[in-house]
Amino acid sequence: MTAPLHEPTAEAAPSAAEEAAVAGAETKAVQGRSLGRIAWERLKRDKLALTGGIVVLFLIVVAVLAPLITSLYGQDPDVYNESMIDPLFGTPKGALGGIGGDHWLGVEPVNGRDIFARIVHGARISLLVGFLSALVAVVLGTILGVLAGFFGGWVDAVVSRVMDGLLAFPQLLFIIALVSVMPDSMLGLSGTGVRLLMMILVIGFFGWPYIGRVVRGQTLSMREREYVEAARSLGAGRFYILFKELLPNLVAPIIVYTTMMIPTNILTEAALSFLGVGVKPPTSSWGQMLSSAIDYYKSDPMYMVIPGVAIFITVLAFNLFGDGVRDALDPKGSR
């Protein structure tokens, strides 16, 4: 287990001070810095992580502003541009899948929908599912992990068994199974809405053990610490200890594992859409674009390359940022 993340002034500050000295930014008052501040200063010097973070921010902006971007750009993701298609082969006219001034990334084979517009809209699906399913996992994982670690006994035994079980089995297959037995409409949603909700819930459900395991371990080791004992001896109740003493110290590991979970979730969403259990057409998603590109990898390779690269850049950016956050919040300060 990683070293405890509490008492930042006592444990993490010396190493941060050394690093500050190395960086030439000598600070006189070392003891006053919070863990967040230390982490941010470390992160700032990690060029790769910063690049990842900037790309992530950029993608979030693109996803949020997708309709605005496509209307400024002048192409609708769902409009067919048959004039762009070679009637004989069904592939786009022009080189590289029809890339040009009107269609920056070309058009899809057969129906000629604009790929740039579809990629921009696809970012919404990827990020929405990536973030919200991570949120589901964090909420479930934190609650159950804290319960298991704090109360121990049979609660711990049951939660731990369930976590082991969920971690052992191939997630994608179970997610496919669950999504395929679910109804086409529920809670007033239908079509793409219900598929999105299903993916968020199911991916989140299979992700919580990753958070839960860490939270449980940390809680278990922290509840025996002197400062918790001190609080208890001063007459603090269980809930006070839980919310005021333990949870603040769990924030750092939870942030680390959440950042590292988002790219995995994005890949899972893409895989589900690729396999046809994700969002329904005509809603665009990157996985779905790749799955229709299979039939054209010989005649129109750009159609496959563009969504593939989009997924790759997104996941890579999140991974770089996640690795950086992990290193920055690591109290051992190994870098």
Applying CB under 8 A, which residues contact other proteins? 165, 168-170, 172-174, 176-178, 180-183, 186, 263, 267, 270-271, 274-277, 287, 290-291, 293-294, 297-298, 301, 304-305, 307-308, 311-312, 315-316, 319-320, 323
Q: Work out how close the CB of 195 gets to other proteins at its nearest, in angstroms, rounded to a whole number.
A: 13
Q: Work out how close the CB of 79 gets to other proteins at its nearest, in angstroms, rounded to a whole number.
A: 26
Question: Would you tell me how many other CB atoms lie within 10 Å of the CB of residue 99?
Answer: 18
Q: Work out how close the CB of 174 gets to other proteins at its nearest, in angstroms, rounded to a whole number.
A: 7
Distance CA(107)–CA(14), nearest Å, equals: 56
Tokens of 85: 């298609």
- Residue among 119, 108, 113, 120 at smallest CA distance from 81: 113
Q: Work out how close the CB of 2 gets to other proteins at its nearest, in angstroms, rounded to a whole number.
A: 10
Q: Which is nearer to other proteins, 39 or 315 (CB)?
A: 315
CA 320 to chain centre: 12
Q: Work out how close the CB of 227 gets to other proteins at its nearest, in angstroms, rounded to a whole number.
A: 27
Q: Which is nearer to other proteins, 241 or 329 (CB)?
A: 329
Q: Which is nearer to other proteins, 34 or 190 (CB)?
A: 190
Q: Work out how close the CB of 245 gets to other proteins at its nearest, in angstroms, rounded to a whole number.
A: 29
Q: Which is nearer to other proteins, 99 or 290 (CB)?
A: 290
Q: Work out how close the CB of 275 gets to other proteins at its nearest, in angstroms, rounded to a whole number.
A: 6
Q: Which is nearer to other proteins, 149 or 307 (CB)?
A: 307
Q: Which is nearer to other proteins, 69 or 189 (CB)?
A: 189
Q: Which is nearer to other proteins, 3 or 30 (CB)?
A: 3
